[in-house]
Amino acid sequence: MVSPGLLGNPPALIVVCQDMEKAYSKGDRLGRDFLSIMDSAMAAQNIMLLAFSLNLGTCPIASFHPGALQKILHLPEHVVPHLIISVGYPQSIPQAPPRETGVVWFNGYS
């Protein structure tokens, strides 16, 4: 099984990948080990927000075998999958849960 976190049979999958050689050449170890993950996360967030604006449902999936995805997608060794996003038309749109808001700190931590 490539991804135990993939449920159902979504009509589309987006695999967010990162070229780790480029990440290292641009940002050394910080770029490769930390910033590349942040870049992938921000890209995934933007993809999911755009999908939502088009009335599509998405689900981020982090439970997958990276080596298997690299093989299936014919990715070079230095291009690593960070996240799968399933995309489809939702059967329903659940109500968002209430969120606590407030200032955590102002001009210093208290």
Question: What's the pLDDT at 2?
Answer: 87
Residues 3-17 pLDDT 10s: 988 888 999 999 999
Query: Average pLDDT of 7-35?
Result: 87
Return the CATH number at 54: 3.40.109.10
Does some domain include residue 79? yes
Predicted confidence (pLDDT) at residue 80 exceeds the cutoff of 90: yes
Distance CA 89, CA 105 (A): 40
For residues 40-63, average pLDDT = 96
Residue 94 lies in a domain: no
CA dist 40 and 5 (Å) reads 18
Domain with 57, as residue range(s), is: 12-88
What is the mean pLDDT of the segment spanning 65-90?
Answer: 95
Angle between helices 36-53 and 20-30 (to 10 degrees): 120
- pLDDT tier for residue 47 given thresholds of 50, 70 and 90: very high
Name, in order, each residue with C-beta under 8 angstroms of 71's C-beta and a sequence gap of 6 or more: none
Would you say residue 104 lies in a domain? no
The answer to the question of residue 97 being in a domain is no
